[in-house]
Amino acid sequence: MALREIVLDTETTGLDPATGDRLVELGCVELLNSIPTGETFHRHIDPEREVPHEAFRIHGLSTEFLRGKPKFAEIASDFFEFIGESKLIIHNAEFDLKFLNAELRRIEFPPLNSDRVVDTLALARRKHPGAPASLDALCVRYGIDNSRRTKHGALLDSEILAEVYLELTGGRQSALQLASVGQTTRKIQLAVVDLVKMRPAPLPQFLMTDELTAHEKMLESMGEKSVWRQYR
């Protein structure tokens, strides 16, 4: 059975939901066996309050842009349907869970349990003690292109984090390449190059004459439709 995981990121109006800060964006990327499938969940959310300038500078989502977007209560069911029971992969998970669970409490939905979360910040700190562990720093360490990340964005950051997570949990397999197919699907292709070559000369025959005769008799006993006759 394939292992399904969801890489998740949020953007907010500030740092603490206890002081009235709210979610403004939610982005998720589906992984099967650590490979992005191309299936995503992405919503901008009306926070029902003003977006402070400090937050706008980080993610570029203004009060005017978000006004009229769905409220969290309107997207919560779709969000839960997308994530299902899958493990959640989050960078600095404490921050995102704090906001998500605050929103869920408002609409009397069950909270997300930290037991189902993998925190890539904690993973990075264990794997590289003392080294910078921000998402940008990990992109530099692993040679991941994050040039599109001029501002924070929940879906873009989830896509980048999916690549970082693959490195943190074992690295890319050189025999596998991700290929985009259309705009929403991806497939895994085996990068098999120059692995199959014709022999310059056939191998010598090692079977004895009596063995060949016995094999021929066995084929005759199996009838004309025997699949073995296709390989004679």
Catalytic residues: 152
Strand ranges, E, within 57-200: 87-90, 117-119, 176-181, 185-190
Residues near 37 by beta carbon (within 8 Å), at least 6 away in sequence: 30, 31, 185, 186
Quick one: tokens of 23? 């979610």
CA–CA distance, 232 with 228 (Å, rounded to integer): 7
Residues near 151 by beta carbon (within 8 Å), at least 6 away in sequence: 58, 59, 60
Quick one: tokens of 60? 């570029």
DSSP 33-98: TTEEEEEEEEEE---SS---HHHHHHH---HHHHTTSPPHHHHHHHHHHHHTT-EEEETTHHHHHH
